[in-house]
């Protein structure tokens, strides 16, 4: 299948970690007509602005990587902001894309859409089978609504208007453009900062919360971008072979997970920290395991290519750049 490299592709959230990686991937593939707007230029929660943008620009495709994103603290402290902003962003972008004649759109969700006690690895059909993790339930509900919104437009307008809106659910991501905030960041960027500061300050020990035994899966963000573009470019019959009208989302994982203890050792290596690593079992561990079943994506023909050691070295280089 030949791909038109001049299609007008709007990447919403292009300054974010995932959106910027999608732009890199599209540019690398030779796409020449990538449309972006900063949050300051226009606010995706504002319906009139989004409507005017789609009427004026008429993009051919949309990658929806703009969202209000945060860790446990932010989700717990600002639940109203998380549910409101995300519902507004996705409702505006998906509906105005439809009205503006966009036939192909990719919605980015998250593994938190799955029930807290979903069987591991979590497969796509675990969606809506149980209670969500309460700390980020409002965020997860908005992501579930986004998937259902895409599905509903496909079901109502797929035949008549050629609408083909898809969704991908990434596991934990890391890499260039991550948020390295000391309190409000995910485990990899938070530990990169801690190991770096321990190395620079010659600290004899880094203490990590919990037992180190929980298992987590991590995917390098450029792999996520590659998977997003891959899924978007699949022909409809191939995409439909692994999805159904009311279960249209595809998981994107690395394929295997590591313990927090293994992650800590890999991070010490990546950052050059040579002191001790210890664990504080009096602190909570969280779920014993969170691992995506990426079998459908692999049947479609995609596999991650950046291993954890390589990805962490690249992520650490990005962190060092952010200090300059």
Ligand X SMILES: NC(=O)c1ccc[n+]([C@@H]2O[C@H](COP(=O)([O-])OP(=O)(O)OC[C@H]3O[C@@H](n4cnc5c(N)ncnc54)[C@H](OP(=O)(O)O)[C@@H]3O)[C@@H](O)[C@H]2O)c1
Active-site amino acid positions: 139
Residues 283-312 vs ligand X: string with x where CB under 6 A?
------------------------------
170 contributes a contact to ligand X by CB under 6 A: yes
Determine, following the binding rule CB under 6 A, whether residue 74 of this chain makes contact with ligand X: no
Stretch that binds ligand X, among 28-36, 60-68, 120-128, 316-324 (CB under 6 A): 60-68
Among 9, 10, 11, 17, binds ligand X (CB under 6 A): 17
Question: Of these, 3, 6, 27, 39, which contacts ligand X (CB under 6 A)?
Answer: 39
- Whether residue 121 is preceded by a cis peptide bond, meaning omega within 30 degrees of 0, is yes
Pair 195, 268: CB distance under 8 Å: yes
Interacting span for ligand X (CB under 6 A) from 14-22, 151-159, 295-303, 313-321: 14-22
Q: Note whether 69 binds ligand X by CB under 6 A.
A: yes
State which residue, 110 or 243, has the beta carbon closest to ligand X.
Answer: 110
Q: Tell me if 18 contacts ligand X by CB under 6 A.
A: yes
Q: Interface with ligand X includes 108 (CB under 6 A)?
A: yes
DSSP state of 133: P
Q: In sequence order, what E strands does 215-321 have?
A: 215-216, 218-220, 249-252, 258-259, 276-280, 289-290
In the chain the beta strands, taken as DSSP E runs, fall at: 9-12, 34-35, 61-64, 104-108, 164-170, 172-174, 205-209, 215-216, 218-220, 249-252, 258-259, 276-280, 289-290
Q: Which of 211, 214, 213, 217 is nearest to 188 (CA)?
A: 217
Dist. CA 19–CA 14, nearest whole Å? 4
**Shortest Cβ 51–ligand X spacing (Å):** 14
Mapping DSSP to helix (H, G, I), strand (E, B) and coil, where does residue 4 land? coil
215 sits near ligand X (criterion: CB under 6 A): no
Q: How many residues make contact with ligand X (CB under 6 A)?
A: 23
- 227 lines the binding site for ligand X (CB under 6 A): no
Kindly state whether residue 43 participates in binding ligand X, applying the rule CB under 6 A.
yes
User: What DSSP string runs through 7-26?
Assistant: --EEEETTTSHHHHHHHHHH
**Binding positions for ligand X, rule: CB under 6 A:** 13, 15-19, 39, 43-45, 65-69, 85, 89, 108, 110, 170, 172-173, 186
């Amino acid at each position: 299948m030949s791909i038109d490299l001049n299609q007008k592709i709007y990447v919403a959230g292009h300054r974010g970690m995932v959106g910027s990686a999608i732009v890199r991937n599209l540019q690398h593939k030779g796409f020449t007509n990538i449309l972006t707007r900063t949050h300051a230029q226009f606010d995706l929660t504002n319906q009139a602005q989004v409507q005017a943008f789609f009427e004026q620009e008429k993009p051919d495709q949309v990658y929806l990587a703009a969202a209000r994103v945060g860790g446990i603290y932010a989700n717990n402290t600002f639940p109203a902001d998380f549910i409101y902003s995300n519902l507004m962003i996705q409702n505006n972008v998906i509906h105005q894309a439809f009205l503006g004649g966009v036939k192909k759109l990719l919605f980015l969700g998250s593994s938190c859409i799955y029930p807290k006690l979903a069987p591991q690895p979590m497969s796509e059909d675990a969606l809506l089978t149980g209670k969500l993790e309460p700390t980020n339930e409002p965020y997860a509900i908005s992501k579930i609504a986004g998937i259902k919104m895409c599905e509903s437009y496909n079901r109502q307008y797929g035949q008549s208007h050629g609408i083909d809106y898809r969704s991908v659910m990434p596991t934990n991501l890391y890499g260039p453009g991550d948020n390295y905030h000391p309190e409000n960041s995910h485990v990899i960027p938070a530990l990169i900062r801690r190991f770096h500061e321990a190395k620079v300050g010659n600290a004899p020990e880094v203490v990590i919360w919990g037992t180190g035994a929980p298992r987590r899966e991590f995917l390098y963000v450029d792999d996520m971008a590659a998977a997003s573009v891959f899924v978007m470019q699949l022909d409809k019959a191939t995409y439909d072979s692994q999805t159904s009208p009311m279960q249209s989302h595809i998981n994107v994982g690395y394929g295997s997970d590591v313990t927090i203890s293994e992650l800590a050792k890999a991070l010490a290596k990546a950052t050059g920290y040579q002191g001790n690593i210890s664990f504080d079992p009096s602190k909570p561990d969280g779920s014993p395991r969170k691992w995506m079943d990426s079998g459908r994506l692999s049947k479609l023909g995609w596999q991650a290519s950046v291993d954890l050691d390589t990805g962490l070295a690249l992520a650490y280089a990005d962190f060092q750049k952010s200090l300059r």
